[in-house]
Amino acid sequence: MISLRATMRGGRRIERSRPWPRHVINQTGWLRAIREISKGHGDMLGLWSDGADVHMLMLDHESSDIGIVTLECPNGRFPSVGHMHPPASRLERAIRDIYGLGADGSSDLRKWLDHGRWGVRRPGAKPEPSEASGDAYAFLVAEGAPLHQIPVGPVHAGIIEPGHFRFSANGEVVVRLEERLGYVHKGIEQLMVDGPLDRAARLAGRVSGDSTVAYALAFANAVESALEIEIPQRALYLRALMAELERLANHIGDIGAICNDASFSLMHTHCAILRERVLRASQLCFGHRLMMDRIVPGGVASDLTMEGAVALHALLSGAKKIIPRFIELYGDTTSIQDRTVGTGRLRSELAKQYGCGGVIGRSSGRSFDARRHPGYAPYPELSFKVGSAHAGDVDARVWVRFDEIRASFGLIEQILDKMQEGSIRIESLPAPSETCEGAALIEGFRGDIFAWVRLDAAGAVQRCHLRDPSWFQWPLLEAVIEGNIVADFPLCNKSFNCSYSGHDL
C-alpha cells in the first residue's frame, strides 16, 4: 500500500513552491489521497482552485509532513473529494460557483456562494453574464408530522453578520439545522488578481475584521515564502505581539458574549470592559484599535514605542489580576454552568474528521495549533501551553478560551522581554523574476488560517486563496445543535463564533 506521504510526494514536483512542496499528481494519485484522508490517515487542510487546476493541502499524521497536491482539470472536472470526505463538500461547491470546475461523484450539486445575484456566472474563469434575479434554494428535508421549521436570517436580531439558518424542530428540540451562507461574499480573491501587493495585503486584512492581524500575517508570510525573504527579527516579534493582543481581545469578548446569551450580563459587562482596555492599548501601541494594515509583506508598518510598552505592562498586570476573578465568577455560578455543561457537545471523531481547528477542535481533543506545528517564528523560541479539553461542550469551549488567555499573557511578556532593537521592515521587496508560489498556516483566534499566493514575474498577485478556519467549523455547528433545544442555539453558536465574512470571502 502506498502511504499518504508517498502520494503527496509523487508525480511532478513544481519548482518555486514554498515552504511546502507542491506535486502535480494523476487521477489515480488523487483518488488515493482522498481515500487515505477519508480513512483518517491525514487531514485535509484546504481545497481550492486557480481556475485551471484543483489543489489540496494535506497533513500526513504519520510523518507530520505537510504538502500540496494538484490535479489538472483540462476537461473542467475532477473526482469529488467530498464524495468520500464530507468536509470538502462546501469547498467543492464554492469551486464550482467561482471557477465552473465540477466535482465528479459529488452528491450535493446545489450552489453555495452563488445566489444567482451577481449578474454573472463563474466569475473566476470565463465569466458569463446571467440573470441577477436570484436562484431558488432547496433546503434538505426533515419530514414527520410534529416537525415545524424556523427560518432565521440573513438579517439577525443581534449586531452580527448575516447568514441564514433553517431549523427543523420537534417542539423545542432541534432535529436538523441547515445553514445557508454566502450572503457577504465580496469576491475578494478575484479583486486581488493582477493587482499590486499592497492592495492585496489591504484586502487580506479585511477578510474578517476580527482576525485582521492573523489574515495580514498569513498573507505576508505566504508572500515572503514565495519571495524567499527573511524579515527583521524585531518585525517577527511585533507581529506575534499583535497576534496575541488580537487573540486576547477576541477570547475575552467571546467569553462575555457566550455568558450574555444565557443572560449572565455581569460577566458580559466585565469582559467588555477588559476587551476595551486591550483595544485601547492596541491603539496606543500601533495606532489602530484592531491593528489593521499594521502587518505588511516585508515587515510591520509601525514600531512599538516605550510609551506603548509601558501601556502593555500596565494592561497585563491589571488583566492578570482580573482574569482569575472571571474564572471564579464563571466557575462558581451554577446557573450559568447549568446552561453550558453538556450543551452542544462536539464528538472528538467529528472534530478530527473535519480537521477542526482553534478552540472548538481543542475542546474536543484535537490538539492542532499552527503556532506549534508547522510553527512559525518567533513561536519556536517562546514557551506556551496550548489549551485542551475533551468534553466538547459549550463549557469546555469557555475553559479552553480561559487557558488561551493565560497563555497569551505569558507570550506577550516573553515577547516584550526578548524583543531586540532593530529595523522593522524591508523597505523594497525584491521582484521574483519568474512566477513563484508561497503558502502559510497561521493560528488566528478561531483556528488555522491558510493563505496561498502565486506571484507573477513582476511581483503582482496572479492568484490568491485564503481559507478561513470556519470552513471546517460551520458544518459541525449543524451537528452539535442536533437534539438540543432551540433556546440553546445562541450558546452553541457563540461558543463556536464562526466567521461569516471569512467564510464567504
Partner 1 sequence: MRKFLFQGLLRWPLTELAPAADDAAVAELAAALAKASRRRLGRSLSIREVDAGSCNGCELEIHALGNAFYDLERFGLRFVASPRHADVLLVTGPVTKNMREALERTYAATPDPKWVVAVGDCAFDGGVFAGGYACVGAVSDVIPVDLHIRGCPPDPVALLQGLIALVERRR
Are 190 and 123 contacting, i.e. CB atoms less than 8 angstroms apart? yes
Which of these ranges, 4-12, 157-165, 222-230, 451-459, lies near partner 1 under the rule CB under 8 A? 157-165
CB-hemisphere CA count at 13 Å for 113?
29
AA identity, residue 347? R
Residue closer to partner 1, measured from CB, 65 or 276: 276
Least Cβ distance, residue 170 to partner 1 (angstroms): 25
Which SS3 state, helix, strand or coil, does residue 426 take?
coil
Least Cβ distance, residue 415 to partner 1 (angstroms): 24
Please tell me whether residue 150 binds partner 1 under the rule CB under 8 A. no
Please tell me whether residue 410 binds partner 1 under the rule CB under 8 A. no
Distance set, CA 348 to CA 63, 169, 246, 498 (Å): 22, 25, 27, 18
What is the CB neighbour count within 10 angstroms for residue 171?
Answer: 11
Residue closer to partner 1, measured from CB, 308 or 392: 308
Least Cβ distance, residue 185 to partner 1 (angstroms): 5
Least Cβ distance, residue 399 to partner 1 (angstroms): 18
CA distance 237 to 397: 28
**6 contact partners, CB below 8 Å, separation of at least 6:** none
Which residues inside 259-318 make contact with partner 1, applying CB under 8 A?
Answer: 266, 269-270, 272-273, 275-276, 279, 283, 289-290, 292
CA distance 355 to 186: 26
Residue closer to partner 1, measured from CB, 44 or 296: 296
CB-hemisphere CA count at 13 Å for 207?
35
CA distance 462 to 231: 23
Are 336 and 330 contacting, i.e. CB atoms less than 8 angstroms apart? yes
Which residues inside 125-144 make contact with partner 1, applying CB under 8 A?
Answer: 127, 132, 134
Instruction: Build a one-symbol-per-residue string for 97-116: x at contacts with partner 1 by CB under 8 A, - elsewhere.
Output: ------------------x-
Which SS3 state, helix, strand or coil, does residue 195 take?
coil
CA distance 18 to 23: 12
Q: Kindly give the residue spans of alpha helices, DSSP state H, lying in 261-294.
A: 265-286
Residue closer to partner 1, measured from CB, 190 or 348: 190
Please tell me whether residue 182 binds partner 1 under the rule CB under 8 A. yes
Which residues inside 207-246 make contact with partner 1, applying CB under 8 A?
Answer: 207-210, 212
Interface with partner 1: number of residues (CB under 8 A): 56
Least Cβ distance, residue 290 to partner 1 (angstroms): 6
Residue closer to partner 1, measured from CB, 78 or 330: 330
Least Cβ distance, residue 157 to partner 1 (angstroms): 4
Angle subtended by helix axes 233-260 and 212-227, to nearest 10: 150
Least Cβ distance, residue 297 to partner 1 (angstroms): 16
CA distance 171 to 154: 23
Residue closer to partner 1, measured from CB, 12 or 186: 186
Are 217 and 236 contacting, i.e. CB atoms less than 8 angstroms apart? no
Secondary structure in 3-state letters for 100-131: CCEEECCCCCCCCCCCCCCCEECCCCCCEECC
Residue closer to partner 1, measured from CB, 93 or 234: 93
List the one residue from 52, 84, 160, 284 that touches partner 1 (CB under 8 A). Answer: 160
What's the N-to-C CA distance of the chain in angstroms? 39
List the one residue from 46, 87, 100, 123 that touches partner 1 (CB under 8 A). Answer: 123
Which of these ranges, 79-87, 160-168, 392-400, 459-467, lies near partner 1 under the rule CB under 8 A? 160-168
CA distance 325 to 224: 42
Which of these ranges, 32-40, 179-187, 313-321, 400-408, lies near partner 1 under the rule CB under 8 A? 179-187
Which of these ranges, 33-41, 204-212, 380-388, 468-476, lies near partner 1 under the rule CB under 8 A? 204-212
The residue behind cell 502587518 is 295
AA identity, residue 217? L
Residue closer to partner 1, measured from CB, 221 or 499: 499
CA distance 200 to 205: 9
AA identity, residue 386? V
Which residues inside 476-495 make contact with partner 1, applying CB under 8 A?
Answer: none
Residues that bind partner 1 (CB under 8 A): 115, 117-120, 123, 127, 132, 134, 154-155, 157-162, 182-188, 190-191, 199, 202-203, 206-210, 212, 253, 266, 269-270, 272-273, 275-276, 279, 283, 289-290, 292, 325, 329, 332-333, 499-501, 504
